[in-house]
Structure 1
Amino acid sequence: MQWLIDSDVDGLLDVEEKPKKITPNDRLEKAFLEIIEFRRTHDRVPRSTTREIAERKLGARLDGILADEAKSTALKRLDEFGLLEVAETPASIDDLLNSDDFDLLGDDGSGLLDTSGLPARARRVAPDDVATRVKSEDFKQYEHLFVQKHAELRDGGSRLVRFAVAGGQQAIQQGKFFVLSGIMLFVAEITDPEAAPGVRTRYKPRTKTIFENGTESRLFRRSLAGQLLEQDGYAVVSAGPVEIFPDDEATGYIYVLKSMSTDPQISHRENLYKIGFTRGSVTKRIANAEKEPTYLMAPVEVVSTYQTYNLKVSALEDLLHRVFAKVRLDIKQIDGGGRRIDPSEWFVAPVNVIDQAINLIMSGDIIDYVYDAETQRLLERD
């Protein structure tokens, strides 16, 4: 046998070395090096708010790294431009004065900034600013939304952005989540109290704000915005943010539905959802759900909707169906005319994972993930 090995001058008997398995840490480093290369090429950090998709993807990735201390620590040795360095916030006013390297807060020889002779101005607190939170009688109807949103934050489908840079008062819209003093809140409603006939009043929309501790408040939107600003609150936003501009074209809606069917072969299934698309109103689209096989001949509940811009939404919908193809519901339905119909848009997967997939598709990162039916999670590809 040895003579055969010795005579193998062409290396026919050589055993090929197995490629080294790529670890999650390897992928993290590769992702960060792409950000470094952008900084080297463009002499600036990538922005997550730009309209340029490639840069926005890198900017969102950098935001995610900065928000994760473990990732920042692991990548420190590769950070040649100091992208991961966070300026230390002064602990007190004395620290701020002592760190005034440019003497912007130095002595005012002219006395122009001396206000000691002026009466102290107390901040006027509007009664609505201290509106009492009361027990939410219908909290059960919102509780699952908080569970879902926390899951999205854990899994990376959503992230926190300081309210001060999230759009201010205009960012407070019905259906949005925020974090105030460490407590997540949900804006369930925004209404404008009707004025008496013939009386001109200023537009002052009021919110129905639900807090995750089971309380609610009826703050004016302006007052809620003020509290979020003053207390350094956060907005909960998609991990793949898309800034909407006046010339952007709304192309439709992706919607996620839950069946209210009493049919045992449907009602006993956990995490059964329909992923659909419409160019018009979702409410109108599902108005006759109990008569349509595509909706399993039963009423449905809208779980979540996504309005899309500048996208061929039918292609996005098709991609979603391919991601969850292995868990598509295999069922036949009979329509009103006696025909057998195969509803092809129902899938067995947790709704937070479906929402995560939609966000990953919009950010362009879905190509790095695959759905694992056993663990019911989106996993990074090896």
Structure 2
Amino acid sequence: MSDNDFQSIFDSDEDGLLDTPAKAPKLTSSDRLERSFLEIIEFYREHRRIPRSDTSEIAERKLGARLDGILANENKIAALNDLDEFGLLHEPEAPASLDDLLGGDDFGLLDDDSGLLDTSDLPARARRIDPNEVAQRVKSSDFGAFEPLFRQKHEELRAGLSKLVSFGAAGGQRAIKEGGFFVLSGVMLFVAEITEPKAAPGVRTRYKPRTRTVFENGTESNLYRRSLAGQLYENGGLAVVPATFEELLADDEATGYIYVLRSLSDDPQIQEVPDLHKIGFSRGPVEKRIAHAQSEATYLMAPVEIVASYRTYNLKISALEHLLHRVFSEKRLRLSQVGKDGRVYEPSEWYSVPLKMVNQAIDLITSGDIVDYEYDAEARELRLRP
């Protein structure tokens, strides 16, 4: 075949079938990042939820792990913001109550029992203090209108018509309502008013109700309701309730025990950990649960001592477990042990946290206020989330 014959073939190729395909441009790291995120976007568009990194569905698990990696990297978040049409890269609004947390679990966190959800390696978020949250006490201009109410409440306490219970037992933050009486650092206070700001149309915000709190010493304050709750928790506050008040109702269902243990191990690497406690959950008696502690890795293969045990009612044990472990995740014990069977174990549910803070966290969980708190490991105290 002559050169002219070849040329006539090329000339007759009107559809370009014989054209040499253009070489695809080389993908940059930015291109790959965008493509990988667009796959997550498509998953959300189809399923109306984010992909989970703990599912047995391999394809979804891969996307979920990819999203976790993006969320842990501020540079990647900034680079992908323009593509984030569903707001997947923005921190969700904090739940206002325990019911909201349990009912809106889009991530499926409360269904996982595998321990894959440890967030201690994620970047710490700096605490921001809103100047408006710092409420000062001032002299009450109309204290005369409230003074008789305080006298009446003291009379009721003396006569046995009212009684004092711990703030947590009364319901925690949910107990702070207009007309409620509490005792803070030995001073009785009265919640005269609660104001809830209204959001502008189309503006998504988290409401932060303020109180008008009148103290029996003639002063008053406009603390946020959750800030008042925080002070009552942190200072062993009390609630004034009717004498007939019962912490448990007749139809309450016992769901198990929250327990706190101390290790009696003679292992030096365990003994040197300060304030080491195991926070666990059991549906049956704790004594039975720990009967063979010395042979179980979860108990550090050593005898344990029961420091505290709490009966729980009407509560989902697995949800409580995730909440409590999430709060103290930064101080979780990271230790590997070789068991009698020669296998390597990494015990969970052990935390280097003062017992006082554990007790306070349990109190906050049972009242439902734990969603507003986080543990400051440096200050070794629970604080209201910003």
Higher relative contact order (CA closer than 8 Å, sequence separation 6+): 2
- TM-score after normalising by structure 2: 0.45
Q: Please give the TM-score of this superposition, normalised by the length of structure 1.
A: 0.45
Larger radius of gyration: 2
